[in-house]
Amino acid sequence: MTAPVRWGVGSVAGINAATVPAILASETAELAGLASRDPERARRAAEEWGGVGYAGYDALLSDTRVEAVYVPTPNAQHAEWVHRAIGAGKHVLCEKPLAVTAEEARALVAAAEDAGVLLSEAFMYLHHPRYTRLRELFTEGAIGELRGIHVVFTFDASDELEHSGFQGAPGSGAIYDVGCYAVHVARTLTGAEPEAVTAHAAVSEPHGGIDMSTALLLEFPGGVAATAQLGMWSADLDTVMVIGSRGRIEVPSAFLRGPDDHVLLLTDADGTRRIETPRADHYERQIARFDAAVRGEAELLLPPDDAVRQAEVLDAATLSWRERRRVELSAR
């Protein structure tokens, strides 16, 4: 049996509630420890999860036992800590978005290539077998030709004014927090890159002047469009609808865990039928796939170049809502 990959986690924040258990549950992974700038928080995290409680990120990066690092810090800090992890010779799985700008993303991808380490953006949803089945249905022509995609990803954290995402730092707001999922799933399902982006946002000054609710339009080649409603002060919902010339496929609980997170709803001329796929922990599958890539047994599901193309679209969407105009990506 291949030795498990030893993971260090660069935070003790709540976002680890899914990924750390996935590391612990995976036969391919081992938790070396978690880091915090607060030594006491690091100690408590180690007591809860196991491994070492690193007093500071540098302590984690200097531990030669650590092979891979998961970076779940606030978005504005991703580029710094990913770059430092790469410099320490660690493979890196970074929480989305990899970087706040495409320029940052390109620099990180180049650094990883130069260092000979793996780098991937943590879009866990795509590791679920449901998305494999969804793409098979496309190939089989179950809904005819693709006409459009609509995504809703909203939640309400408007009363959490101390949240790190509400301080106005780069990478804050609905586009980066949940819009990145909408952009990614649209790029994945179309197999193409958008030619233009238009975004309209509701901005909240009490929340740091960020986009709290955003409507997004992505124009793809061939007249295909993807639309999205994104929000950080709206009722909870995450769903994807794929519309074809002869039917549609709905994906409930499209990104997060839920009672129907293994289900697809296919509607065509014969009505609506429920297609069930294997239940799976997509966080654990993400870790297992990354571990296999570290051991040379598989390719990354999401290569680093994908994160650069993703960042280019997020750049355009942010420019669009700030300047209230349509942005052509080819013109940037």
In the predicted model, is pLDDT for residue 332 greater than 70? no
Supply the pLDDT for residue 167. Answer: 72
Q: Given 6, 91, 96, 127, which residue is catalytic?
A: 96
Ranges for all domains in the chain classified under CATH 3.30.360.10: 126-279+311-331
Q: CATH 3.40.50.720 residue ranges in the chain?
A: 5-123+285-299
pTM higher than the cut 0.75:
yes
In this predicted model, what pLDDT tens digit does every residue of 184-236 receive, in sequence order?
999 999 999 999 999 999 998 888 889 999 999 999 999 999 999 999 999 99
* pLDDT of 331 over the 60 cut: no
Active site residue 90: no
Topology adopted by domain 5-123+285-299? Rossmann fold (3.40.50)
Question: How would you write the chain as a 3-class SS string?
Answer: CCCCEEEEECCCCCCHHHHHHHHHHCCCEEEEEEEECCHHHHHHHHHHHCCEEEECHHHHHCCCCCCEEEECCCHHHHHHHHHHHHHCCCEEEEECCCCCCHHHHHHHHHHHHHHCCCEEEECHHHHCHHHHHHHHHHHCCCCCCEEEEEEEEEEECCCCCCCHHHCCCCCCCHHHHHHHHHHHHHHHHHCCCCCEEEEEEEEEHHHCCEEEEEEEEEECHHHCEEEEEEECEEEEEEEEEEEECCCEEEEECCCCCCCCCCEEEEEECCEEEEEECCCCCHHHHHHHHHHHHHCCCCCCCCCHHHHHHHHHHHHHHHHHHHHCCCEEHHHC
| pLDDT for the residue 208 | 84
Look at domain 126-279+311-331 and name its CATH class.
alpha beta
Per-residue pLDDT tens digits for 275-330: 999 999 999 999 999 999 999 999 999 999 999 999 999 999 999 999 999 999 97
